[in-house]
């Protein structure tokens, strides 16, 4: 019996598109534990409202460091008191950032999250927007 199309003939037959599709529809997966859903592969990108506040943060080559990470990586506070809202696509990375890890801030290209926070320890570069300026 042919494994793909279920025919009883022992002579090889050319596969047709219909026979392959039928075989795929009736076949059961052998190991469902290794199947990964699409939602585990693709991170949804959530856009910020178009009315985001203007950003004003002095970008320089100065190193900062993580003071606090809250809300499961959604918010990062630096030692200068600045508070950053993180693009949801990167929150899994910032969730595991540790206090005192060195950070640099640079300009990014995303108008919704116009800054890049680079974690020197983990080599992560994530998008964020300034939520609060902190100390003057």
pLDDT digits (tens, 9 = 90+) for 3-24: 555 555 555 667 776 776 777 6
CA distance 42 to 44: 6
Identify any residues that bridge with 106 across adjacent strands, giving them in sequence order: 116
- Average pLDDT (40-55) is 54
pTM of the model: 0.58
61 touches 102 (CB < 8 A):
no
Identify any residues that bridge with 130 across adjacent strands, giving them in sequence order: 84
Q: 115: Cβ–Cβ under 8 A, 6 or more apart, which residues?
A: 55, 57, 59, 84, 105, 106, 107, 108, 127, 128, 129, 130
Q: Would the pLDDT of 81 be above 80?
A: yes
Burial class (CB in 10 A: 0-12, 13-18, 19+), 28: exposed
User: In this predicted structure, which of 8-22, 71-85, 117-131 has the lowest mean pLDDT?
Assistant: 8-22
Q: When comparing pLDDT for 44 and 119, which is higher?
A: 119
Q: When comparing pLDDT for 4 and 104, which is higher?
A: 104
100 touches 65 (CB < 8 A):
yes
Q: 85: Cβ–Cβ under 8 A, 6 or more apart, which residues?
A: 74, 75, 113, 128, 129, 130, 131
């Amino acid at each position: 019996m042919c494994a793909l199309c279920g025919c009883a003939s022992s002579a090889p037959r050319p596969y047709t598109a219909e026979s392959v599709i039928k075989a795929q529809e009736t076949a059961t997966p052998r190991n469902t534990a290794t199947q990964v859903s699409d939602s585990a592969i693709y991170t949804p990108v959530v856009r910020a409202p178009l009315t985001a506040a203007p950003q004003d943060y002095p970008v320089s080559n100065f190193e900062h460091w993580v003071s606090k990470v809250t809300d499961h990586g959604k918010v990062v506070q630096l030692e200068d008191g600045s508070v950053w809202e993180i693009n949801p696509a990167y929150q899994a990375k910032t969730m595991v950032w540790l206090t005192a890890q060195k950070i640099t801030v640079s300009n990014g290209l995303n108008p919704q999250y116009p800054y890049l926070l680079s974690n020197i320890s983990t080599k992560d570069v994530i998008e964020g927007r300034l939520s609060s300026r902190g100390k003057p």
